[in-house]
Chain A
Amino acid sequence: MIVNYNWLKEYVGAALPKAAEVDRLLTEHAFEIEEVTEVKVNAEGREGALGQAGETVIDVDVLPNRASDCLCHRGIARELATILDVQLEKDPLADEPSLTQTDKITVNIADTNACPRFTASLLTGIEVKESPDWLKTRLESLGQRSINNVVDATNYVMYAMGQPLHAYDADLFPQVDGTWQFGVRYGNEGEVVEILPEGGSDEPRRVECVGTELLIVDESSNTPIGLAGVKGGNYAGVHAGTTNIIIEAAHFHPTITRKTARRLGIVIDASKRFENECSRELPPYGQFEIIELIKQIAGGEYEGTLDAYPEKQTATAVEVRLSKVNALLGLELTLEEIKSIIVRTGSEVVDKMNAEGREGALGQKDAETLTCTGPWERTDLLIEEDFIEEVGRLYGLLNIVSVTPDADMAAAVNVRQYYSEQVRQTLLAAGFSEVITSSFQKKDIIQLRNALASDKSYVRSTLTINMHQVLDANFSHTDLLGIRSVQAFEIGTVFSKVNAEGREGALGCKTETEVGEHLSLAIGVRQKGNGYTPKDDAPLQAAIADLQDSLGVDLEFTIEKGVAEIDLSAVVATLPVPDAYTPMVERTAATYTPTSSYPAMARDIALWVSEGTSAGEVINALRTPAGDLCVRIDLFDEFTKDGRTSFAFRLVFQSQSKTLTDAEVGEVMDAVNATVEEQGWEVR
C-alpha cells in the first residue's frame, strides 16, 4: 500500500513526524516499510496543492490481518496516531454521517449474507471535467492516472478510507416507475457479464458465469452490470456529458469475492479491499466523503441515499486479563498500563470491577480483567490474544527480555536423523560426496495438478534417475575437482502410490488411494567419461560393505549401471533406537566461491627431482609461475628410481571471466617449465 506523506499529515496533523521517523515508528510498532521515496508528479508544470515539486510516498507492507482497515490513508494515519498517542486532527470516520434517505433508488438483494449492505446516492446537476490539481497530485503520487473528476473522486475515497465505490450515469440507467432499480444476485451458469476492458484492450472483457459469482444487475431488465466486489462494467458509464450520477458503495462477502477474483485472475485495488473484509459500517462513511467531494469539485445537488443494511453487525466484546497479557508477553505491566494502551487503539475499555459498581464484591480475578471492544473499523480484534498483540507491539516488542533456555525436557533421538547421519559419515569416509537434487521429474508415477514447468510436473519415485545425471554432469569436472572418478550419494524423500495402509502394491492397482513416501538412499560411481563400465561396481560394492559394517545389517540394494538405491526408512525401522546422538563431527569453516561458468583446461607435467624432495615442495615452487589462473595442482603419480624421484602433476586452469585459449595456458606452462629448470629439476 503506497501512502502519500502529505495526505497522512492532513489526518494526523502537526504531530506527524518526518517521513524517516514515520518509517521507524511503523516498522517498530505496526508494519514493515518497503521504501520511502520522493515522486515527481508535476511533470506538466502544474502546481501541486502544497506547492511542491515532489511528493513523499511511503510503501507500507500492510499485514494481512490489518488489510481490513489499513489499506487506506486514514487507516495508516490512525495507526500512527495510536503509536504517537495523539488524536487525529481530521478523521473521516469520527462522526456517524447523516445521509438523507431517498426512495428514488431501490435494491433487491438475493442473499444478504453475500451482500450484507448496499448503499447508493443520487447527485444531480454535476459537471464532469478535469480534476483539480491537488486531486491529480494525490492520485498521481500513488501511481494512479487521473481520468475525470467523478472517477477520480471514487478512487480518492477508496485510497482515503478503504471503501471502493462505483459511479453510474443516472440518465443512462433506466428508470422504472420513477425509481432506479438495482439488484444483487448470483450469476446463472453460462450468463455473460461485460466488465471494464483489461490489459490495454479497448473492448470490454466478457466473463461467462459458472454460478458462484455475485452480480450487480439492473433489476428493471435483469441485466448484469458488474461482478460484485470484483470489477464493474461500462453499463451506464460516466462520460464527458454526464450530469446526474448514482454512486454505489457496498459490502460484499470476502470469500465469494475472492473466489471469483481468483478464478478470473483479477486483482485490482477494489477487489483486494472487498476480499479483506472491511467493516460493514464503512459504506455510509464512504458515501458522505464522496458526496462532499463531488459537490466541491463537480458541483451539483445531493438528492439522497439508499441504505440497505438488514442485519447490523455488532461489535465483539472481549475479556482481556492482566495475567494473560503478561503471561504471553513475558512483561510485568500493570492493569492501568494495559488499559491506557488499549484505549489508544480507539477501543472501548470497561474495567470489570467498575462496571459492576460493587467494589469488593467481585473476586480478584475480575478486578484484573478488562472488557474491550475494538473500534468498529477494526474487524480483526476478536479474541483476547488479538488485544495482547496490540499491547505488545504498542508497548514495544523491543522491550521483550530474553530468558536463557535450559534443558527442561530431554530431547528424544530421531532415529532417521541419527542413522542418516551415520550413513553420511560412513560414505564420506569412503570418498563419496553428498548431493541433494530436485524432487521434481519430467516423467514419473505421480503428476502434480499444477506444475511449475512441463519438465517438473511429477514428483520423483526414485533417486536413481537424478544420480545418473549427477554422475554424467560431474564427470567433465573431474580435473577441476581433483578427483579421478565421481562418487556421490543422496538421501532424500521419494513418492509412490500406496494403499490406505501405506503399503505399495502393484502399479495401477485400484487399492492405491494415497501418495506414500519414504526416505531413500542412492549411491553412484562413475570412472569413465563415456558412461557406466562394469568396473564401477567394485567401489559401489565396497561402499555397501562399509555401510553394512557400520549399521550391522545386511543391505539389499537395487544396483543398476553404477547406481545403487535402497529404502532407507525400511532399513532404519529394523535398527535399534539409540539413547543419545553421537557428538557432532568437527567441521572446518567453509567459505564458498561461485563456480566459474567457463571451461577448465588441464596440463600434465612429469619431472625428476632428487630423492628426498617432497611433492609439497615442488607444488609450492610451481604455484608462483602457475599464477592465478591455475586453480589446482594435483599429484597423480610418483616413483623413485636410482636416487631420483619422478612426480607427475596435473595443473588445472580456469578463468572467472573468459574461456582460456591454448596459447594463454601454453604461456603459463612455459613459465612453469622455466621454474623447473631453475630449480635444477628435469622435465621428463
Chain B
Amino acid sequence: MKTTPGHQHPLTQMIDEINHIFAEIGFTFAEGPEAETEHYNFDQLNVPKDHPSRDMQDTFWFKDKDVSEPSVLRTHTSPVQARFMESHGAPCKIIVPGKVFRNETTDATHEAQFYQLEGLHVGEGIHLGHLKGTLEHFFSKFFSGKTEVRFRPSFFPFVEPGVEVDMRLLEGDSKLAGKWIEVMGAGMVHPNLFKAAGIDSEKYSGYAFGMGIDRLGVMKFGIEDVRDLYTGDLRFVNQF
C-alpha cells in the first residue's frame, strides 16, 4: 500500500512560511540559546535588576550551581537582538522565531512555553514607516489578503518610542476580516541597546518587533487552546 504522508506541526509550518516571507525581503533567520544569561535576557535589553519592568515577564531561573552566571529560560526572543547586534554590528536585518518560556499559570491562551517571532532591522534612515510597511507586507502574505496595520502608544524597555501593533485583514471571508486585532509590541530600538552593542546611534536607527507565533496560529487556523500545540496529540496535529 502507498505510504500516506505524515502531518507537519502547525508551528513549524508557520515558521517555515514566516522564514520564506521575510527571506524574500532580506531578513536572515537568526537564533540564540533557550538557556540564556540574565545579562542578555534582561540587562543588555535595558531591563535592570529590581526594576518594575521585570514584572512584565515571570521568569524561570536555573540554579546557581548549574551555571557560572545567573541564567534563565529565555522569556523572549529579544536577547537574540542584543547578541546579533553585538556580533554582527550594523546594518542588520533579522527575524528570530524561537521557543520562549514564562513562569505563569496556563490557560487556553497562555502556555508556560510558546513560540515568539522577533524582528530587527537596523540601518541608516530606518523609521516607524519602515516598520509599518514591513508588517503590512508580512501579514498580507501570511493571512493571504491585503492587511493594514496601525500603531498605538506602548512601552517596552528595549524600544523608544514603543508601539502596540493592531492589524486588520481587509479582504477575504476569514473570520478575521474587517476587525482590528492587537497582535504585537514593537518600536524603535532604544539607544541603550545600540550603546551596549557598540553601534553608533547617530548613524544608525532601527526597529524591532515581537509577537507570539502560537497566537498567529490561533488567528490563522482557528486553534482554540494553545496548549494543544504541545500535547503531542496526533488528533490535533493530523488536522494540519
Contacts and interface: CB of A to CB of B under 8 A. Distances in A.
A and B, one complex? yes
Interface of A: 27-32, 63-67, 254-255, 258-259, 275-276, 327-330, 383, 385-386, 388-389, 392-393, 397-398, 400-412, 414, 416-417, 420-421, 424, 427-440, 446-452, 456, 459, 466, 469-470, 473-474, 477, 480-481, 483, 486-488, 490-493, 495, 497, 500, 513-517, 581, 584-585, 587, 589-595
Nearest to A62: B155
B173 to A, nearest CB: 12
Query: Interface residues of A: mostly helix, strand, loop or mixed?
Result: mixed
Contacts of B236: 592, 595
Contact of A434 (B9, B125, B228): B9
A433 B7 contact: yes
B56 A517 contact: no
A255 B240 contact: no
Contact of B153 (A29, A258, A427): A29
Contact of A430 (B3, B30, B160): B3
Contact of A330 (B16, B129, B164): B129
B107 interface: no
A397 B24 CA distance: 28
Given A403-B130, A436-B9, A448 B240 contact: no
Interface in B168-217: 188, 190-191, 205
A397 B137 CA distance: 19
Contact of B50 (A255, A427, A480): A255
Contact of B221 (A448, A470, A590): A590
Chain A to chain B: the 5 pairs with minimum beta-carbon distance, closest first: A330-B129, A330-B127, A389-B161, A414-B29, A402-B133
Interface residues of B, number: 101
Given A430-B6, A431-B3, A438-B113, A451 B232 contact: no
Nearest to B92: A409
Contacts of A386: 160
Contact of A65 (B92, B113, B155, B221): B155
Most buried by B among A327, A403, A473: A403
Contact of B25 (A400, A406, A429): A406
Contacts, number: 286
15 contacts: A31-B153, A258-B50, A258-B51, A328-B188, A329-B161, A400-B132, A400-B151, A428-B5, A429-B3, A446-B62, A481-B235, A500-B68, A514-B67, A581-B23, A592-B240
A450 B132 contact: no
B6 A403 contact: no
A456 B230 CA distance: 14
Nearest to A267: B55
Interface in B1-31: 3-13, 15-17, 19-20, 22-31
A411 B23 contact: yes
Contacts of B64: 449
B66 A414 contact: no
Contact of B232 (A330, A385, A412, A466): A466
A410 B29 CA distance: 11
Given A411-B93, A469-B232, A590-B10, 18 more contacts: A330-B130, A389-B160, A397-B150, A398-B151, A405-B25, A406-B26, A407-B24, A409-B91, A414-B30, A420-B12, A428-B7, A439-B34, A448-B61, A450-B59, A450-B60, A584-B16, A587-B13, A595-B236
Given A385-B160, A409-B26, A590 B240 contact: yes
Nearest to A515: B35
Contacts of A470: 232, 234
A411 B152 contact: no
Contacts of B151: 397-398, 400
Nearest to A386: B160
A385 B188 contact: yes
A559 B151 CA distance: 52
Contact of A595 (B24, B137, B233): B233
Contact of A385 (B130, B191, B224): B191
A377 to B, nearest CB: 17
A658 B136 CA distance: 44
B155 A63 contact: yes
B234 A486 contact: yes
Interface string B45-89: 000001111011001111110111001010000000000000000
Nearest to A418: B29
A449 B65 CA distance: 10
A424 B113 contact: no
B19 A417 contact: yes
Given A439-B34, A448-B60, A450-B60, A592 B153 contact: no
B232 A436 contact: yes
B150 A407 contact: no
Contact of A451 (B17, B51, B60, B205): B60
A383 B63 contact: no
B68 to A, nearest CB: 5
B109 interface: no
B146 to A, nearest CB: 12
